[in-house]
A and B are shown apart, each in its own frame.
Chain A
Amino acid sequence: MTSLHKRQVKAVLTWIATFILMIVMCVPGLWVVLSGFRPNREILAKPPVWIPEDLTLDNFAAIFGLSDAQVAIPVIDYFANSMIIAVTSTAIALLVGMSGGYAFARFRFGGKNALFLGLMLSRAVPGIALSLPVFIIWSHLGLIDAPMGLIIVYVALNVPFTIWLIDGFFRQIPKELSEAAQVDGCTRWQAFWKIEFPLARSGIASAGVFAFLTSWNEYALASQLTRSTDSKTLPVGLMDFTAQFTIDWAGMCAMAVIIIIPALILTFLVQKHLIAGLTFGGVKG
């Protein structure tokens, strides 16, 4: 009886703790999303208006230049830049991550541990600390305000992480599977694509989502290395809402909603893989 009672209490406590955590995490996001649909005067009202009284799409209309209330933001350009940069850098980071992760998991070679440690340590340097050197080199190479400049930076930022994650997944797959496939008639390459790749797919998908989100959301370096609609990404575009003396919070929040949506859709699409990937249990058999 008492043990049942104890278990119930524990369940309720766990539930409450989860609930509080979720509130702490979700309320700011929710506030941003709501503010995207409210007029600036309601957002700035004192005392604050908690429950929106006046929901409107005016902020979005303004961003897309459909109303005369505000100067239009080149949001389509920013969106295109963000997409091109995030997708390309993620694809490259995944390709390098897969090759590197596979090599670390399967092959013996000299200096392997040192190399791996070096890769991980490179993550310990805050990206912003590299911004000045990168800026100088990029300006010599003509990569300032060019999507390629950001793509290279994001690939460098993401590769250690994708290698580390994907290495962990390949390590979990017994090497006998690939050997069995080779005995069964596969070339090494076929054995990889038919056996090892499908089994590591969850891990590769998770690595891809993380890499994409990192590139999609990155602000600090992008704000240094971009100038114009040629390469400005959505997060940098947010700053267009600040004028010398005013900040258009409503417009900024509406833009934030636009930034969040693709990330949300992507996460939703691969969530099955993400869960399998993060719990690291996909391959036992």
Chain B
Amino acid sequence: MGNITLNKVVKAYGKLEVVHGIDLDIAHNEFVVLVGPSGCGKSTTLRMIAGLEDISGGEIHIANELVNDLPPRKRNISMVFQNYALYPHMSVRENLGFGLKIAKQPQNVIDQRVNEAAEILGLSSLMERTPAELSGGQRQRVAMGRAIVRHPEAFLFDEPLSNLDAKLRVQMRTEIKKLHQKVKTTVVYVTHDQVEAMTLADRIVVMKDGYIEQVGTPMEVFNHPVNTFVASFIGSPPMNLLPALIVSGAIWFDENTSIPVPSRLAPHVTEGQEVIFGLRPDDLTPEGHGIHDSGEGTFLELKIDLAELLGTETVLYTQIAGSEVQGKMFVPRDVTPGEVLKFRIALEKTHLFDAKTKKSVRIS
């Protein structure tokens, strides 16, 4: 059973604490993605699970066994590194078989498992090459092959795609997803790219400054961010965040601009409360060009500053009460800067955060 449990796990380098007592339960065969800006402690957390960093406090269990004091080789995990870490002096075949050879498996077992992994990853024709003779994508595949031959309890990935160019990255992302469907195993995957997190994860763990901000399925994290950090980090283009006041049942931006409080959020706000209004560009659309045109809505006349054509949609830059915001036009027509359009705000999809705690009003 490849379940992994982190219990109040702390990491400190000397006096500097970089991971502050995090709790996390990862189920057997679950694909969990740790995502967050660079320096937030994702790699450190992953390396503590792998046993490559000492744990300064708390407990880590892998397959229900306390592993705090076990070296990496006794944890039955495998890891794919950002720079792949292929052994340069060995052929692809030797790289793949290295772990099994160290474990003193008989040669026929090694051959069978190596060939099986090579088959899955399409490496069969490259077996006698050295890593220097491979392209970036091929190296990436060898690194994954080396991880799967040992049939570990869990795979750990540390930003495995960040050294690839954009096109290959998308392709390998799909391959990793397929691989997980073929080789059912627990995966802990680290990335700073929220798109990767959204597309790959069964569950996303959003981290910031050594704390976990939110854990949830991609849909939960996208639709119900618990605070402004998660709200702005997940989704692209990012969610618009506007300061506002609650005045007599309305969200008040300035003398000229206010909109009704969404009925779903009304019970959670108090008169006079300072809030931050969260609105995804997808939910701010010119009338007739939205994806949520039914349901609770309200309208605002806004002047277009800039239109960015993406083909199936156009990103519109405009302002609400002096703050820059982005909206979207689906099934787009030509828009000229300066044009004033009637925008629909899909109120049911909007968010309110307390201005002081930055937390969603639904939980604070």
Contact = CB atoms under 8 A, between A and B. Distances in A.
A186 B73 contact: yes
Interface stretch (B82-90, B274-282, B311-319): B82-90
Contacts of B131: 285
A199 interface: yes
B279 to A, nearest CB: 42
A142 interface: no
A176 B88 CA distance: 12
Interface residues of B, number: 26
Interface stretch (B96-104, B224-232, B301-309, B329-337): B96-104
B81 interface: yes
A285 B132 contact: yes
A153 B79 CA distance: 47
B73 A285 contact: no
A180 interface: yes
B100 to A, nearest CB: 8
A284 B73 contact: no
B53 to A, nearest CB: 10
Interface in A162-216: 174, 176-177, 179-188, 190, 194-195, 198-199
A119 interface: no
Contacts of B146: 180, 184
A180 B85 CA distance: 7
Contact of A283 (B71, B88, B98): B88
Interface residues of A, number: 21
Contact of A185 (B79, B88, B99): B99
A184 B87 CA distance: 12
Given A182-B52, A184-B146, A285-B131, A176 B98 contact: no
Interface in B77-125: 77-79, 81-83, 85-89, 98-99, 102-103
A179 B150 CA distance: 16
Contacts of B223: none
Contact of A177 (B51, B71, B85, B102): B85
A182 B131 CA distance: 19
Contacts, number: 67
A139 B86 CA distance: 54
B130 interface: yes
A181 B71 contact: no
B260 interface: no
A194 B79 CA distance: 18
A194 B130 CA distance: 16
A183 B87 contact: no
B78 A181 contact: no
Interface string B19-42: 000000000000000000000000
B251 interface: no
Contacts of B150: 184-185
B72 A179 contact: yes
A188 B50 CA distance: 14
Nearest to A180: B85
Contact of A176 (B51, B85, B102, B130): B85
Given A190-B102, A199-B88, A284-B88, A182 B81 contact: no
A283 B150 CA distance: 26
B189 to A, nearest CB: 16
Contacts of A186: 73, 102
A285 B83 CA distance: 10
A186 B103 CA distance: 9
Contacts of A184: 73, 78, 98-99, 102, 146, 150
A21 B190 CA distance: 56
A186 B88 CA distance: 17
Nearest to A179: B52
B72 A176 contact: no
A285 B130 contact: yes
Contacts of A284: 88, 132
B86 A285 contact: yes
Contact of B83 (A174, A183, A190): A174
A180 B88 contact: no
B144 to A, nearest CB: 13
Contact of B98 (A174, A181, A187, A198): A181
16 contacts: A176-B82, A176-B83, A177-B88, A179-B81, A180-B87, A181-B98, A182-B71, A182-B72, A183-B52, A183-B73, A183-B77, A184-B98, A185-B73, A185-B99, A198-B89, A199-B88
Closest 5 CB pairs of A and B: A285-B88, A184-B99, A176-B85, A180-B85, A185-B102
Given A179-B85, A183-B79, A184-B78, 6 more contacts: A182-B52, A183-B51, A183-B78, A188-B71, A194-B102, A198-B89
